[in-house]
A and B are shown apart, each in its own frame.
Chain A
Amino acid sequence: MRQDDEQLWSQWMAQAQDGDGTAYQRLLGAIVPRLRAIVGKRVTDPDRAEDVVQEVLLSIHKNRHTYDPALPFGPWMGTIAQRRTMDWLRKHYRQDGQEVLVDEYPETFLAGGANEVEQDVLAFDDVDRLHQALDRLPPGQRQAVELLKLKEMSLKEASEASGMSVASLKVAMHRALKSLRAEMAEEIEP
């Protein structure tokens, strides 16, 4: 069963390399459970694990030209997933080393639901804060948000305007949204 899966995945990836978006969507959807299993072995927090799975998907997308259809698909995908998971763990441990754990937050918002998960979505309505958060993004990510979301350009138009490839724009946009979401959530949570 697993070998059949891998043959099918290999075939879909070869088609995706030729520009077949339908085969690619099928492939990415089919490999997500396997990626979750690989990532989940090292990252036990499900939310964080899903973040890493998304990073792996971006990495697979960015490096899809390196897959050789003559070779099995599993080791190619597994290597990328393992490397990206290790990268995430290294980054995570570095960040954790600089954070201070406290028993109680020094201050909090009065409203009871202020720290609920859905509040970070509402925070996007605060234009001033959003602009400040945008200013703190790396230039490539900021440009992607400005062109695709603020100026509402298509990917092709934004690619022509910025000189970035469509794939790079997609990756930059995804990372920018993640950074913005995290930053706006940080501003709500003390």
Chain B
Amino acid sequence: MKRPAKNMAKNMANNLTDNLIADLAGDLPPVKRLAHPAKRLAGWMAVALPVSLFLGAVVEQQHVTLAMERIRDPRILLELTAILLTAIAAGYAALCSTQPGRFSKAWALPVAPFVLWLSLIGENCWRLFEQIGADQFSLAPHWTCYPSIAATGFAPALVMVVLLKRGALLTPTMTVALGTLAAAALGAVGLRLYHPPDATAMLMLWQLIATLTFLGLASLVSGYMSKRA
């Protein structure tokens, strides 16, 4: 008695699969293929970086000549290189993660530049600690930094969310983590160029929190917009 019922259930399930295939294939509209991650990354940098730099300069009320002066300092240039490489590698990895079957080990790309960036921040903190002493050294959040973090981080986070939502979110945790790191790093370029040179670990932590906030807000807006589209 059990076997016929089981066979019937199996046939029903198989029929459902066949019906589903027929439904999906009927009235099939053409789709726009997702571009290569490198091309999407280039688009992200081309839109988000200038906006981030512009807003950073406006909020900090600094002129672009200050940025040019800072770039001449080899130490800052090294930091900027590490930050930019982190942004590029994490951005590329995040975009790869939304395209199934493409470079599954891409998540490892940002590890080296991110470690370099963190070690440079650590060294900065240590130098500052030695200069001013334990009494003056504080890890408390600097609220005055938040507008700059918001201004430089907004565009990279918003554009990244739009790009990620176009792909397949099969590994959301990894994709969001890589996207956050990429957006935080790209925002840090403007911050390093215009903000007073106190790039401590706490500043970076606040920047990551701000970027996560933007990603959340941008995700809500983008979700609403894609529903309406």
Contact = CB atoms under 8 A, between A and B. Distances in A.
Contact of A17 (B14, B31, B36): B31
A63 B8 contact: no
A3 to B, nearest CB: 16
Contact of B29 (A46, A75, A77, A166): A166
Contacts of A116: 5
A174 B23 contact: yes
Interface in A1-42: 16-22, 24-25, 28-29, 32
Nearest to A163: B228
A167 B101 contact: no
Given A47-B13, A50-B17, A79-B101, A68 B33 contact: yes
A80 B27 contact: no
B13 A51 contact: yes
B104 interface: yes
Interface stretch (B64-72, B127-135, B165-173): B165-173
B101 A57 contact: no
Contacts of A66: 34, 98-100, 167-168
Interface of A: 16-22, 24-25, 28-29, 32, 46-47, 50-51, 53-54, 57-59, 61-69, 71-72, 74-80, 83-84, 116-118, 155-156, 163-167, 170, 173-174
Nearest to B24: A61
A75 B96 CA distance: 13
A27 B180 CA distance: 36
A177 to B, nearest CB: 9
Interface string B1-33: 000010011101110111011111111111111
Contacts of A84: 170
Given A46-B10, A54-B20, A66-B34, 19 more contacts: A19-B28, A19-B30, A21-B27, A28-B21, A28-B24, A29-B18, A50-B16, A54-B17, A57-B17, A63-B167, A66-B100, A68-B33, A68-B34, A69-B33, A74-B101, A117-B5, A117-B12, A166-B27, A174-B23
Contacts of A17: 30-31, 33
A154 to B, nearest CB: 9
Contacts of B29: 19, 166-167
B227 interface: yes
A175 B159 CA distance: 31
A80 B181 CA distance: 25
A68 B28 contact: no
B102 interface: yes
Interface in B157-178: 167-168, 170-171
A29 B9 CA distance: 20
